[in-house]
Structure 1
């Protein structure tokens, strides 16, 4: 554990999970009762309750790239590690509450595109947020800071987004213990770079993992990371454990790089981050209409999703990663879903 704030938040999350009903969207956890002590007065038979569930949120597009909203459970098959699973619950989700995390890149490379991000991001929030939804806003540069905690108020989020500033030197008013909303994430050596992977890791682990229902993170970034303590694989794992879909709007000011890539492999890594969690990377450059169209695509996908739940044939809660594949009948149908999950034991 590399963040003092994370340790505190992680403890609080485990306490909440221990006191509330199991989250159907989390990786499967056992709710079977502990073995009772031997007693001649007790019945000789024991009832075991097994409600281990894996829930998958996914969208389906046809060969013309249009969203498909009329499928039934008979149309789709779920494979876990290539083994077919029996779908227990199936719903076409249109109005289930939505939990959003907006992650805003405020590093030096975004100097010329930040106003565009603020304008289109605010408009998106005003369109998509309903009274039963909630969202938070995080900025990341040499620090990772919580600009607005969970709220259903699009105007409050917009105000926070419009106050975001480019930060290249590690001050910018941050202070307190490291972690989201508690000051800068510690880096090795002098403050530098863009803590993108740390931001995704923290948002998933500290803010989204204990939430229920549909969860999505939207990153507005050029995809470059420098100085994070966490790796890309850590960010993907944290998002998968939180059952959070990651969308990346790749917003790159090409002029900032002077036309030279110089080891910049942001697009490939952002595509992997998005696809492994069931989202997409959309390259919008620094084009306002493209960015608006991308936000509209995300909005449509989040409002046109299926959720399918099943009890895994492999009931072991050993923390291992299980590969997932969803196949749906139809001419040229493409399924967009997370690629796997971790079979986490209780209180892990």
Structure 2
């Protein structure tokens, strides 16, 4: 068995080759005498250099897209695994996972743990309430970009009263950081419209792995689209959404109803896609949290299966991932996309 390695905070990047699973599932092997390696130091991944659009009309979103990438009948799911200390766990094998669709267990057909190229959209809050937080938010974006690889591509959507595509897809992260330098905080918060624009822009992505990072300090008070519309769109999109919510400390909750609803909204949207929401109260924590998200995207398993239910009915199917607990390790927790729409044709 390959060594199982933990990553603390912005831990070291590990890349494993993809491999297909045998017809018969492997039996768990006894733990090796060496035991798991634990990485307690933090090492960033290699650093690399790196037109206003209105949101499309609602009927454009009606064309349903699969929420998980489907190649013929193969469904692929990205899975992140963490331990009780929220450290990433790599080095697991296919035998450590069980996968269910609508409560029926599925046979794992392919399994990989690799750092594949990413297409990422940064959705940046430039509303008036972000004034004192802008500099730390820029630093957070810079730390996230440090985890980029040469084949990654990025775009920038900025929002206040309405969303705006500041920079389309580029492999040069410095271009995006330069545009953020001129960001000014003003206006209201069209968070939902910003997410919609990012998902629409993601249709132009050249990489199969896609993610959106939202940096915002509150709820929505200026969007055309409703929570229900965005939640439905998120379920249909093959995009992981990560969110950093920049909130006031609990002792200073003088926020509007929309802002109070912000954490719950970001959490629900993110978890539905297999991403995560990281609430931040201390601005000094922003860069480390952003870097952690970048490293998490580099330490995911990709599990493929051919559904037992081959009916092409276009219906939403719920997916569940469980861990076959390895010997000698603390309880592990998986994060994954919670479902997908079956093909209609």
TM-score range, shorter chain: 0.7 to 0.9
Of stretches 311-320 and 335-344 in structure 1, the one that deviates more from structure 2 is 311-320
Q: After the TM superposition, which residues 44-193 of structure 1 pair with which residues of structure 2 at under 5 Å, given as runs?
A: 51-93=72-114, 95-125=115-145, 127-168=146-187, 193=188
Structure 2 residue ranges without an equivalent (≥5): 1-52
Deviation at 1:58, TM superposition (A): 1.1
- Give 1:252 shift: 2.6
Mapped to 2, the partners of 1:8 and 1:64 lie a distance apart of: 42
Indicate conservation of the 8 Å contact 2:55/2:197, yes or no. no
Q: Does 1:203 align with 2:198?
A: yes
Q: Is the 8 A contact 1:208 1:242 kept in 2?
A: no
Question: For 1:141-161, what per-residue CA distance to the aligned partner results, in whole angstroms no more than 9, with x for missing partners?
Answer: 111101111011011111111
What does residue 227 of structure 2 align with? 232
Q: Distance in 1 between matches of 2:161 and 2:335?
A: 33
Q: Cα distance, 1:323 vs. partner? A: 1.1
Say yes or no: does 1:245 pair with 2:240: yes
Distance of 2:283 and 2:55 partners within structure 1 = 37
Question: Residues 81, 116 of structure 1: CA spacing in aligned structure 2 closer, same or farther, 3 A cutoff?
Answer: same
TM-score with structure 1 setting the length? 0.74
Larger radius of gyration: 1
Match of 1:186 in 2: none
Instruction: Give RMSD over aligned pairs.
Output: 2.9
2:292 aligned residue: 297
- Contact kept, 8 Å, 1:10 with 1:206, in 2: the verdict is no
Q: TM-score, normalised by structure 2?
A: 0.75
Shift of the 340–129 alpha-carbon distance from structure 1 to 2, 3 Å rule, reads same
1:260 and 2:279 are equivalent in the alignment: no
Aligned to 1:327: 322
Q: Who is 1:6 aligned against?
A: 56
Alpha-carbon distance between aligned partners in 1 of 2:60 and 2:205, rounded to the nearest angstrom:
9
Per-residue deviation at 1:217?
Answer: 0.8
Q: Is the 8 A contact 1:110 1:252 kept in 2?
A: no
Normalized per residue, which structure has more strand?
2
Cα-to-partner distance string for 1:197-217 (whole Å, 9 max, x where unaligned): 121122113324765422111
Q: Distance in 2 between matches of 1:230 and 1:10?
A: 13
User: Among 191, 194, 199, which residue is 2:189 paired with?
Assistant: 194
